Amino acid sequence: MREANPEINWETQRQYALRVRGLWGAAEKKAYVRTYGCQQNVSDSEKLSGMLEQMGYTFTDSPRDADLVLFNTCAVREHAEQRVLGNVGALKGIKAQKQDMVIALCGCMMQEAHVAQKIRQSYPYVNLVFGTGALPRFPELLWRTLAENGRVFDMEEQNGVVEGVPVRRDSAYTAWLPVMHGCNNFCTYCIVPYVRGREHSRAPEQVLREATELIATGCREITLLGQNVNSYGKDLQNGWDFSRLLAEIAVLPGEFRLHFMTSHPKDASHRLFDTIAANPKISRRLHLPFQSGSDRVLRQMNRRYTAAQYRELVAYARQVIPDLCLTSDVIVGFPGETEEDFRQTLALVEEVGFANLYTFLYSKRKGTPAETMPDPVPHGEKARWFEELLRVQGEKSRAFLNDYVGKTERVLAERVQDDTATGHTDSGVAVSFPADEPGEFYDVEFTQVKGVTLYGTPQTVPVEERD
C-alpha cells in the first residue's frame, strides 16, 4: 500500500495548529467559512473547519463578525469563478474597517496559476491563498500568515492522501466520506483534473474505519465521494475496487443508508449494479452523467463511451434494480455541437427518463483541450437549446415528483425544528413531515407536492422504537 505523502505529515500540522491556538490566549477568535462548488468541496470545508477548531476558532455566519474569512472556491464554470471574485471584492470594505481580519482563499480556483496571479495583483487585501494540494497544510500556512504578517501563496500540488486531518461535520446524522481524490479522465471541457490532480484512493481500511466510527456515533446516512468512484482502487493495486468497498461498508451493522457519487459510465460495471441490487442499505439512486447523446460530441469530449453503451448500462441497471432512480449531468453547447447533436441529447433524455437532470451550458475553461476547439454556434442558439431541454426535463421531473403522492418511504429526520422534520427520499427529493426526533428514520406517507418538496405524514413512532 502507498504511504501518505511524506511532505504533509498531520502530526507536524497539529503542532502548527497548537502554535496558532497559543497566539490567542483567552481571546475568542471567530471564523467565517464559505463553500462554493461540489460535495467534494463541502467535504474539504469540513476538514478546514476541523483544522480551524484545533486552531482555537469558533464559527460565525457573518463575515463582519469574523477574525478570519475563508472562501473554499470552485472553478468548474466561469459563472462560479465570477461569483467568487465578486464576493471577494465585497470583503474589501469590511477589511478596511477591520485591519487585522485575515482573508484566506483556497480550493480549486486557487490551484489555477492565472487566478492566483490575479489575486496577487488586484486583491492586495487578501492575506492567504492556497490550492487544493496545500489543504492539509492549512495550519502551517495560517501560522506563517499570522507570524510574518505578510501575504502567503501556496499552489503546490499534492501527491497522495493525507490521513488524520480533523473533520468538523455540518451534520450529526449525515456525512460525506471521501474515498478518493483527483481525476485522471481529462474530459476535454473540464478543469477538475488540472485543479485536483491525479486520482489517489484512500486505503480501504481507512474508509471502513471512518464508516464504522460514523455509524457508531449515530450517523445514519453516508455518501461516499469521488470524482469517479468507479475507478476506486486502481492506483492501490491491492485487489480492491469500488464494488468491493461498497459491499463491505453495506454489511456493517446498524441502520444506515449508503449513497455514492459520481459514477463515470465508462467505468460503471455490471458488478456495481449487482452489488447495489444485493444490498438493501445501498441507495437506489444512481447519478450517472451522460453529458451528451451524440457519439460525435462524446468522442470530442473524450468520454470514452457511446450513447448506445450508455443506454445498455441503464437497461442492465434497471433490470437488476427495478426501483432504480436515475439522475444525470448534461452539457449543452459544447464546441462544434450541432442542432442534430443536440436533438440526439434530447432523444436520450426523452427515452431514458431521468428523475432529475443537472443541465449546464458549456463554459470555456482555460488550459483545457476544448478551449481551442472551434465554437461557431452563437450563444443565443445554445440558450434556446438549453431552454428546450429544461422544458422537456421539467415535465419529467414534475411527473416523477407527483408519482410519490400516496406512496410510503422510510425517511431520515435530518433536522427538526418546531416539530417539523426535514429529510430526503432515497432519490434525493426534499421531504417535510411532522416529527420530533432528529436522527431517526420514519415511514412517511407522502400526501402532496409543493414546489420541489414532498409533504407527508409519518407513522406515529420512529422505526427503531417499534418491535
Q: How far apart are CA 452 and CA 149, in angstroms?
A: 48
Interaction between residue 40 and ligand F3S (CB under 6 A): yes
**74-82, 138-146, 296-304, 392-400 -> range binding ligand F3S (CB under 6 A):** 74-82
For ligand SAH, which is the closer residue by CB, 151 or 296?
A: 296
Interaction between residue 196 and ligand F3S (CB under 6 A): yes
Q: Helix (H, G, I), strand (E, B), or coil: what is residue 317?
A: helix
For ligand SAH, which is the closer residue by CB, 191 or 282?
A: 191
Contact 145, 184 (CB under 8 A): no
- Pattern 194-233, binding to ligand SAH, x per CB under 6 A? ---------------------------------xx-----
Residue 114 CB burial class (10 angstroms; 0-12, 13-18, ≥19): exposed
Can you tell me which residue has the cell 497566539?
23
Binding residue (CB under 6 A) for ligand SAH from 194, 354, 362, 441: 362
For ligand SAH, which is the closer residue by CB, 174 or 328?
A: 328
Interaction between residue 225 and ligand SF4 (CB under 6 A): no
- Pattern 266-285, binding to ligand SAH, x per CB under 6 A? --------------------
Binding residue (CB under 6 A) for ligand F3S from 106, 142, 175, 192: 192
Chain centroid to CA 65: how far? 28
How many beta carbons lie within 10 A of that of residue 379, not counting itself? 10
Interaction between residue 227 and ligand SF4 (CB under 6 A): yes
Q: 430-434 and 420-424: which strand pairing?
A: antiparallel
Number of residues that bind ligand F3S (CB under 6 A): 12
Q: Cα separations (Å) of 225 from 175, 260, 416, 432? A: 10, 6, 26, 26
Phi-psi region of 106 (alpha: psi -120 to 50; beta: other; left: phi over 0): beta
Which 299-328 residues touch ligand SAH, going by CB under 6 A?
none
Binding residue (CB under 6 A) for ligand SF4 from 111, 228, 356, 393: 228
Please list, in sequence order, all residues whose beta carbon lies within 8 angstroms of the beta carbon of residue 18, skipping any fewer than 6 positions away: 54
Binding residue (CB under 6 A) for ligand SAH from 10, 16, 138, 189: 189
Q: 285-287 and 128-130: which strand pairing?
A: unpaired
Interaction between residue 358 and ligand SF4 (CB under 6 A): no
Interaction between residue 31 and ligand F3S (CB under 6 A): no
Of the candidates 65, 191, 69, the one whose C-alpha atom is nearest the C-alpha of residue 123 is: 69
Residue 174: phi and psi, rounded to 5, are: -125, 145
**152-160, 183-191, 292-300, 349-357 -> range binding ligand SF4 (CB under 6 A):** 183-191
Q: How far apart are CA 384 and CA 404, in angstroms?
A: 31
Binding residue (CB under 6 A) for ligand F3S from 48, 76, 246, 288: 76
Can you tell me which residue has the cell 459510465?
265
**SS3 for 380-434, per residue?**
HHHHHHHHHHHHHHHHHHHHHHHCCCCCEEEEECCEEECCEEEEECCCCCEEEEE
Which 263-302 residues touch ligand SF4, going by CB under 6 A?
264
C-alpha cell at 131: 490550492
Q: How far is the CB of 228 from ligand SF4 (least distance, A)?
A: 5
Q: 102-107 and 68-73: which strand pairing?
A: parallel
Q: Is the peptide bond before 262 cis (omega within 30 degrees of 0)?
A: yes
Interaction between residue 48 and ligand F3S (CB under 6 A): no
First to last CA, the chain: 44
**192-200, 236-244, 330-338, 373-381 -> range binding ligand F3S (CB under 6 A):** 192-200
Give the strand order in the sheet containing 408-412.
408-412, 441-450, 453-458, 430-434, 420-424, 415-417
Interaction between residue 429 and ligand F3S (CB under 6 A): no
**21-29, 37-45, 148-156, 311-319 -> range binding ligand F3S (CB under 6 A):** 37-45
Can you tell me which residue has the cell 453529458?
291
Q: How far is the CB of 104 from ligand F3S (least distance, A)?
A: 16
Interaction between residue 261 and ligand SF4 (CB under 6 A): no
The rounded radius of gyration (Å) of the Cα atoms in the chain is 23
Interaction between residue 360 and ligand SAH (CB under 6 A): yes
Interaction between residue 37 and ligand F3S (CB under 6 A): yes
Interaction between residue 35 and ligand F3S (CB under 6 A): no
Residue nearest to ligand F3S (CB): 37
For ligand SF4, which is the closer residue by CB, 257 or 264?
A: 264
C-alpha cell at 162: 493525507
**87-95, 105-113, 167-175, 360-368 -> range binding ligand SAH (CB under 6 A):** 360-368
What residues make contact with ligand F3S under the rule CB under 6 A? 37-38, 40-41, 74-76, 108, 191-192, 195-196
